[in-house]
Amino acid sequence: MAYDLNGKAVLITGASRGIGAKAAAVCKAAGANVLLHASAESEASAAVAKSAGQAAGDFLYQDLTAPGAGFELASRAIERAGRLDAVVNNAGVYLPSPLTGDKSGWEDGWAKTIAVNVTAPADICRAAIAHFREKGGGTIVNIASRAGHRGDGLEKAAYAASKGAVLGMTKTWARGLAGENILLYAIAPGWVETRMAPEDIEARKHAVHEIPLGRVAQPEEVAAAILFCLSGACPSMTGTTIDINGASYVR
């Protein structure tokens, strides 16, 4: 089944690589006006922009660790396109929050993780919801994680907590805004073949061993789920969390 996003303006954060880049490609192929975000210009962002028929300078570059960055990004996206129909909050960081060693590592890990993974997407959602209310509706897809359900490694509590927060806010706003035609979905991947996936050989063996499917997910698989959520094919799914983890965590 082909999904049609023709004429829809879609903001995708963290679009320079991995899941965000694949989501940008499938949304562009479905006819969307894709608004691409990255933290800074790079060779990767230039390549993604070219594949989307844009220039590297068309990217909306925004450091999401900065206070108010989410509001600023949403405002720039609306100004750029003249409207906003959907948001994919994909940008995220996977930083350690170590229980031992210098306390500065703990504080830095928590501060940056919450800023990028929770505060920025929450602010983007708030700005998008205000805009959607003016235009009669819209869709938000928040990329969470398996870790938000089951927890993560001992040194990654900040990451797990941040993704649990993403799940909580998605459910809350889905419940409260469905009657206004504002739909929210969460996607919770396990390991995906991106820069966040384990590169250490032994860690990689362990990661794959715990996945009954026998492999980590591909970014294209997550992008396909994003496109489905944005398509409007099943509005009754609002509030749903879609797990993509090869049956490594079955709820």
Which sequence spans correspond to the domains of the chain?
Answer: 9-243
- The yes-or-no verdict on residue 197 having pLDDT over 80 is no
Where does 9-243 sit in CATH, by number? 3.40.50.720
- The yes-or-no verdict on residue 200 having pLDDT over 70 is no
Digit-coded pLDDT (tens) for 122-164: 999 999 999 999 999 999 999 999 999 999 999 999 999 999 9
Return the axis-axis angle of helices 157-177 and 103-114, rounded to nearest 10°.
20
**Strands of the sheet with 86-89, listed across from one edge:** 60-61, 33-38, 9-12, 86-89, 138-143, 182-189, 241-244
What is the arithmetic mean of pLDDT over 206-212?
A: 89
Q: 5-19, 41-55, 165-179: which has the minimum mean pLDDT?
A: 41-55
Residues 6+ away with beta carbon under 8 Å from 2: 30
Residues 6+ away with beta carbon under 8 Å from 87: 10, 11, 12, 13, 74, 124, 125, 128, 138, 139, 140, 141
Q: Quote the pLDDT of residue 116.
A: 98
C-alpha to C-alpha distance for 66 and 185, rounded to whole angstroms: 26
What is the arithmetic mean of pLDDT over 59-88?
A: 98
C-alpha to C-alpha distance for 22 and 40, rounded to whole angstroms: 18
CA atoms within 13 A on the CB side of 14: 22
C-alpha to C-alpha distance for 144 and 123, rounded to whole angstroms: 16
Q: 28-32, 49-53, 112-116, 168-172: which has the minimum mean pLDDT?
A: 49-53
- Give start and end residues of each alpha helix (H) in 120-184: 120-135, 147-150, 157-177
C-alpha to C-alpha distance for 92 and 65, rounded to whole angstroms: 10
Burial 102-111 (b: 16+ CB within 10 A, else e): eeebbebbbe
Q: What is the mean pLDDT of the chain?
A: 94
Digit-coded pLDDT (tens) for 96-120: 999 999 999 999 999 999 999 999 9
Neighbours of 153 (CB within 10 A): 11
Which pTM does this prediction carry?
0.95
Neighbours of 67 (CB within 10 A): 11
C-alpha to C-alpha distance for 222 and 24, rounded to whole angstroms: 12
Q: Which of 136, 134, 159, 137 has the alpha carbon at shortest distance from 149? A: 159
Question: Which residues face 211 on adjacent strands?
Answer: none
Query: Which residues does the annotation mark as catalytic?
Result: 159
- The yes-or-no verdict on residue 211 having pLDDT over 90 is yes
- The yes-or-no verdict on residue 204 having pLDDT over 80 is no
